[in-house]
Structures are given as C-alpha cells and as structure tokens.
C-alpha cells in the first residue's frame, strides 16, 4: 500500500516515473488494487462494456457512473480515484461542471473527459471549480460510432499535429495528467517528452510516463473480447469456470 494519500498534485509530480493505473468499478476491486499500491484508480466508462453489457461506452449514463463511483469510493483508497464523464454529459461548460460535481459528490477525486481543443472551455470550467482534470486524447471510445471503429491515431501528419496541439492546450487549461489511447508510439513519445504533466498510455507504446488497462483485460475475466494490445496476465475466466464446474458436480 502506498504510504500517503495520493492527490492530483502528487500524480503530477510523478512525471518521468512509471505510473501504473487500472480500472475499478466496485468496492472489492478498488480495495484490492489499493492494497497492491497503485497510485491511480479509474472508474472508467468502460464499465458499460465489461460490466453492463453495452456494445460500447456511448450508452453509459451519469446515474450509472455515480453508482459505480460510490461503490469504488467505499474502499477509501489511498490511490487517487478518478472517474469518467460519460458520453454527451459535458456538451456545455455548465453541464460539464455540474456533472463533474456530481461525480465528486459520489466520491471521485478527479474527472476525465475525452477530447482536446474542442472541449477546452469545459476543461477550464471544471478546473476553475476546483476539480482536478485528466485529459484523454487519441482514440476516443465515446466517438467510436461516428468514427466507425477503433484505430490508431497519429499515423498521418495532420493527426500528429492535432494531437500535439491538443496536448499543449490541455496542459494550458490545467489538466494534471493525460491519457493517450491508441496513439502511434512515436507520437506518444513526442507528446510525453514535450509536456510537463504525466502521460498515461493505453495501447500507445512503452514511452509514456504510465500505463493504464481495463482490469478485466489484464486478468482475463472478460474472455469474449480482448484488445490486440493487451497481454492478459491471467486466464481467470477459465479458472472460474473450472471451479464452478467442480462445485456443480459436488451438488
């Protein structure tokens, strides 16, 4: 377990170090991850797919996020507990701030939203309200339907330039960390070296300051889909099946 309660400022100071982060959607997983000593836990809107059975993250509601944030927060982690603002819940500055406050009231200590310069006013509003903000660039899961799927970003020069500009803008707006999802590794490295806040990669190569995964991908508890960039460290679903089969035979 980490020795002190993590804050956004302490996460910011980890720039240049390796920051491990994972998702949690309930009390036991948040408690387990905290006992292991992770500095950052995210209640991600990925819960829509791996917990609620939605086809993507776009159907996740604020009420569902609040429910899962409350559950994870009951673990009282020393880790910083961040939470995603769900799809269409930060269309305006007023809406972004109000919904960020709802997540904080549920127990989140920071919020994350997808996008760069297109949501800059919302980011500034959230930060001005005293709520720590994590940025998210690259592949944006909440935009998967309009983009027609998941793909690596930054392979062409226009995307590289946009990512660099978005990263700089989020830093200027007050973000304390930046998730880079499916960003071409050379571009992820360039962003990491060019901004003063930590980058936390997912499928963006080894040169980010930290790495985050959906915990079910890491443990193999959602065997019906695993992203190509993930190497599960357990095949827990098969172990669970075997244990249940053994018990079933004993009944």
Q: Name, in order, each residue with C-beta under 8 angstroms of 91's C-beta and a sequence gap of 6 or more.
A: none
Q: Name, in order, each residue with C-beta under 8 angstroms of 200's C-beta and a sequence gap of 6 or more.
A: 19, 21, 40, 177, 178, 179, 180, 208, 209, 210, 211, 212
- Among this protein's residues, is 181 annotated catalytic? yes
Strand locations in 50-132, DSSP E? Answer: 80-84, 110-112
- Residue from 66, 114, 181, 190 carrying the catalytic annotation: 181
How far apart CA 131 and CA 125 sit, in angstroms, is 9
Q: How many CB atoms lie within 10 A of CB 127?
A: 17
How far apart CA 149 and CA 45 sit, in angstroms, is 17
Q: Would you please indicate which residues are annotated as catalytic (active-site) residues? A: 181
């Amino acid at each position: 377990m980490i020795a002190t309660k993590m804050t956004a400022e302490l996460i910011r100071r980890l720039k240049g170090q390796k920051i491990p982060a994972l998702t949690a959607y309930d009390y036991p997983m948040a408690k387990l991850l905290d006992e292991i000593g992770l500095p950052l836990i995210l209640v991600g809107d990925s819960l829509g797919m791996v917990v609620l059975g939605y086809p993507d993250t776009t159907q996740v509601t604020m009420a569902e996020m609040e429910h899962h944030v409350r559950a994870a927060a009951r673990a009282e982690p020393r880790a910083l507990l961040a939470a995603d603002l769900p799809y269409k819940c930060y269309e305006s500055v007023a809406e972004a701030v109000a919904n960020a406050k709802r997540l904080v009231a549920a127990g989140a200590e920071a919020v994350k939203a997808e996008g760069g310069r297109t949501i800059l006013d919302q980011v500034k509003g959230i930060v001005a309200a005293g709520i720590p903000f994590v940025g998210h660039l690259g592949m944006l899961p909440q935009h998967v339907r309009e983009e027609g799927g998941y793909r690596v970003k930054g392979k062409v020069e226009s995307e590289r330039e946009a990512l660099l500009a978005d990263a700089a803008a989020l830093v200027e707006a007050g973000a304390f960390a930046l998730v880079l999802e499916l960003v071409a590794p050379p571009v992820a490295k360039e962003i990491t070296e060019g901004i003063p806040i930590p980058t936390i990669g997912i499928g963006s190569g080894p040169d980010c300051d930290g790495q985050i995964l959906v915990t079910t991908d890491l443990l193999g508890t959602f065997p019906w889909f695993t992203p190509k960039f993930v190497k599960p460290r357990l095949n827990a679903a098969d172990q669970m099946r075997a244990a249940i089969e053994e018990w079933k035979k004993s009944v």
